[in-house]
Structure 1
């Protein structure tokens, strides 16, 4: 690279990531003394030349409005934009801030770790699993060739050449993509050490988009992966070999669709089959952001927060992505919130506690009496009543802890949800029963398959019943017609969805998925 300042062509010795330009020795001295560039950290030009140029040379101006600086960040769409883009495409977005504010703390945050983890997994996926699988196909093919008779070597060589050509093409393509992903990772590591937070932030967003494209390519590559098999006319008797030899040489290669047993998880790149116009993904929260090993249950609050139960609890602020901690004395199994912003959590078998999210502390216990081990595993709140389970019954508690009513259940209660009219839906993981406060039961005919199970249940503000249904590790979110039992898919191809919770007043819901590692927040758009 060369420094072209003042019309001169000088050999560059350094590269400034914040300015996206090479520097000669003289310019480097002025760069270190300048008021606006003194805190920049140029790197040796030889190191810069090893890095991916698409990460180093990130534009500062908008590609749509070339006279506008990329100075804003929309949290809702997770994108950097200019002032004109904000007016044209993000005028309805509430969560918009300056790029400088959004990038604060990026070096200490989880964005770099999360992106590097994804890139590492991507490189390993290509380097180990898929290249190995393709090489195994070639090895098996060659072994099969070695076992065939010498008389048809010419035909087999032609088939072998055809198959190898396709396989080598795939290996070359995957190797190129693997090297590209590793170069992005190296660039991010170098920028993290030498560049400003604003620059790092822009680089992360750029690489994130590039990484999404690579992940989508790999997903499509998996779907189109084929295995090669040789077909020939079989022969059974020695005396028939000679007349059949002529047909044995008529070999051809067939491409047979094969299934990848452990496909890449590309939930982060919107690989869900979401019904058109049904839902819109708003936010993604990883357990690493909350400093939690796994996510169990969660609930929206009325002040734009989400409470995650655990030991301790975490309170995530959707507006500014901040996280607060609430220490609790026991292990919680469920959490809920009502329209008055009262949060309650169940601690089996002790009872239901109020959680003070304003002062970030555990509040008093609601129930006056403790029960057996199979009690207070679930909790829901509706208006002034708190619903929880005791043995095979639902107990309705008032705010002061008085047991207003106890309703016997016909099934083991694993999930409870309550509609605005006081009706309850309970499930044992296989069936769903609708109960009312008189105690009457009405089973909903969902026609669940024997190898499918319900992992989550909740009711929307409009009274519509939704459920998470899983088959092994694959699952979906469905809307259930409470009259007919018909299950209308809302989200499909989810990885282990195990909890769903609706906002008390907004048409939003969250699900915990990806083996309890991620919380996804959706807006229902129709």
Structure 2
């Protein structure tokens, strides 16, 4: 609902009980409409005043605080709980936060949120714009499919009409039947798709309203008001993410077709199946709602890569040391992490759930096989396969293992200076000397293996595993390699710990290009090949960053 429901909104600030003054302005500090006379009083208090017509575009609820008191508290009396990331009133909504220790005043929490470098506001603006674009893409896709269906209907009817000339009365009746069936299918599709378009448009309009509200509060309101609005909008857009994922999975692409004959001589055979109209339903390509167009932290970006998430290791409850040494993804969008304890931690970036899976020994590396199992390299104790549901650990390789990878039912690991390939059940397939102690390994879709010892990178082809140096120790100047990984297009990346960058290595020219820079002590990296995102451990294991390539 807009803030001014009509042109006769009464002033909410006039002291008289017989208030007949029409509100012409809106006060962001008092969150109420005011008349021309009261405007001077509010300006004297240095309140932020705008025309009431300007606020018609925004949703009033996003700037409403959590206070349920009979006499509403001032915004600057609210508190912000960092543990729950919630704003609350210290008088009426304290139950949930009684034991919380990370509590601060809203003024402190909101400080700087209107600044151009504010991650909160810029991130929300980007996300709202991206959601709106995603919905517009769905509308465009559905409308295009509807146009194609209409053309397919016309084309089939035309072919049937031409064929009818040789079939006289029989085909005349058959044409009517086919036309009616086409119309029924088309109407069925049109009804369903029109309903989808209306739903998408409604969601898109809501996002426009939220975007306008965020812009107005950022420009005119106090930081407290902006912070409240931003948090409310952030909650709404999180709900939109859940809705978007579920909604788009229900969308289908429809196609009309029919079985036909070529000549009248084929009539007897053709008539067995002629006139059978088919409506094909196939799954559409899912839009990844996490692939945003926006660019964050421009100073850190040299190419098209941009940061999606930044997590502090303290969020994961990683034990006493609290640092991450290696990590990877699985298909459920879970981050798997190992550190300095006998355990693997999982964190789901969608629902923010986390779990600890205890191991028999200290892990050195981790690699997801699928959404239910993962491999862990455990040094002198070899390689184990772990089930995330049962938490059962199965020892499958006895060789020494500092790093591990998996591709097409094959396990790849390095025993000191020996590359070992084995089946998932542990039987050895191949052993190959590589001449140095590798501590990082990755495999592309062709089965080519890349290994690194922090100073150079070598490739072993999948045919005869001939070793080729693709990044020489002297060729990379002072680079200290933290980790290597492969993306969905078989492009090789490595982290440059010395220069704080992620590099993409051209395997033909053997030259490296900066993809992400100004990182703080980047260590291991891992690619999500489905979404083409890269996971980077930074700040000596204290942070995990997710970047879109």
TM-score (ref. length: structure 1): 0.54
Residue 94 of structure 1, CA deviation = 4.0
Distance 1:259 1:456 in 2: 38
Match of 1:156 among 182, 201, 205: 182
Q: CA shift at 1:229, angstroms?
A: 2.7
Contact 1:51 1:184 in 2 (8 A): yes
Show CA shifts across 1:8-50 (max 9, x none): 24211011123221111122222222xxxx2321110111123
- Would you say 1:113 and 2:122 are equivalent positions? yes
2:545 counterpart SS class: strand
Q: 2:195 aligns with which of 142, 147, 169?
A: 169
Output aligned runs, 1:64-79, within 5 Å.
71-79=78-86
Q: 1:85 to 1:144 in 2, by over 3 A?
A: same
2:235 counterpart of 1:227: no
Equivalent pairs, count: 357
Select 2:39's aligned residue among 12, 24, 28. 28
Mark the runs of 5 or more structure 1 residues left unpaired by the alignment. 268-285, 307-317, 320-337, 345-380, 383-415, 458-466, 475-490, 517-526
Please name the residue that 1:513 is paired with.
546
Local SS of the residue matching 2:548 = coil
Instruction: Give the corresponding residue for 1:146.
Output: 154
Cα distance change of structure 1 residues 20 and 473 upon mapping to structure 2, 3 Å threshold: farther
Please report how far the alpha carbon of residue 237 of structure 1 lies from its aligned counterpart in structure 2 after TM superposition: 5.3
Task: For residues 357-392 of structure 1, give each alpha carbon's deviation from its aligned partner in whole angstroms, at most 9, with x where no partner exists.
Answer: xxxxxxxxxxxxxxxxxxxxxxxx99xxxxxxxxxx
8 Å CA contact 1:106, 1:201 repeated in 2: yes
Instruction: State the match for 1:399 in structure 2.
Output: none
Distance 1:44 1:240, change over 3 A: same
Alpha-carbon distance between aligned partners in 1 of 2:99 and 2:534, rounded to the nearest angstrom: 30
Matches within 5 A, 1:202-221: 202-221=228-247
Number of the residue aligned with 1:186: 212
Alignment of 1:246-261 (within 5 A): 251=277, 253=279, 256-261=281-286
Structure 2: which 5+ residue stretches go unaligned?
Answer: 1-8, 162-174, 326-338, 341-375, 382-399, 425-441, 453-482, 491-527
Which deviates further from its counterpart, 202-211 or 88-97? 88-97
C-alpha displacement of 1:260: 1.9
1:80 maps to which of 76, 87, 91: 87
Structure-to-structure mapping, 1:293-304, within 5 angstroms: 293=301
Cα shift readout 1:55-104 (whole Å, capped 9, x = no counterpart): 35x13515999999871212233221233788533455443211111001
SS in structure 1 of the partner of residue 83 of structure 2: coil
Which residue among 44, 52, 67 is the counterpart of 1:61?
67
> Among 536, 541, 545, which residue is 1:499 paired with?
536
Cα distance in 1 for residues equivalent to 2:218 and 2:69: 25
CA distance in 2 between counterparts of 1:244 and 1:180 reads 53
Pairs within 5 Å for 1:81-480: 81-83=88-90, 88-91=95-98, 93-108=100-115, 109-127=118-136, 129-148=137-156, 149-150=160-161, 151-152=175-176, 153-230=179-256, 232=258, 234-235=260-261, 238-239=264-265, 241=267, 251=277, 253=279, 256-265=281-290, 288=296, 291-293=299-301, 425-426=402-403, 433=413, 447=424, 451=445, 472=488
Distance 2:322 2:21 in 1: 68
Contact 2:88 2:94 in 1 (8 A): no
Describe the SS at the equivalent of 1:83: coil
Cα distance, 1:172 vs structure 2: 1.6
1:179 CA displacement: 1.7
